[in-house]
Structure 1
Amino acid sequence: MSDDKRNTGTPDRDRINLSEDYEVQYWTQALGVSEDELREAVDAVGSTSEAVRNHLAQRG
């Protein structure tokens, strides 16, 4: 499923889409992680930003 750029409400902002380079760049900077760390976190807990934040906070 592609990222609908017209859908800018909360559900779209709460998800991390690893298929979009600009989103990967945004989230790696926002979370202070590498792309590999971001991809591993999304693989582990899913694409919701809250789950990824919690996962990254628990690892370190």
Structure 2
Amino acid sequence: MADDKSKIGGQDRQRVAANQQYEVKYFAQKHRISAADAREVIQQAGGSRDKANELAQAMKKK
């Protein structure tokens, strides 16, 4: 099912989609990691934006 860009709000902001190239690119730039690493982090987090942010921060500390 395609992402409906007209429906935005709280639920949409809580999730990050690993299959949406622009979201992966933004996430990678935000955390200064590669797109491949960003996609992996997002998948590990199960799409949860908060969990993905935590994992990306932990990854950068290594």
TM-score range, shorter chain: 0.7 to 0.9
Q: Offset at 1:18?
A: 2.2
- Give the number of equivalent residue pairs: 60
Q: Aligned AA for 1:26?
A: Y
CA distance in 2, matches of 1:2, 1:51: 24
Contact persistence 1:3–1:17 (CA under 8 A)? no
The 5 Å alignment of 1:25-36 reads: 25-36=25-36
2:17 corresponds to: 17
TM (norm. structure 2) is: 0.75
Percent of pairs identical after alignment?
28
Q: What's 1:40 paired with?
A: 40
C-alpha separation in 2, matches of 1:18 and 1:56: 14
Paired position in structure 2 for 1:56: 56
What is the CA RMSD across the aligned residues, in angstroms? Answer: 1.6
Unaligned runs of 5+ in 1: none
TM-score normalized by structure 1?
A: 0.77
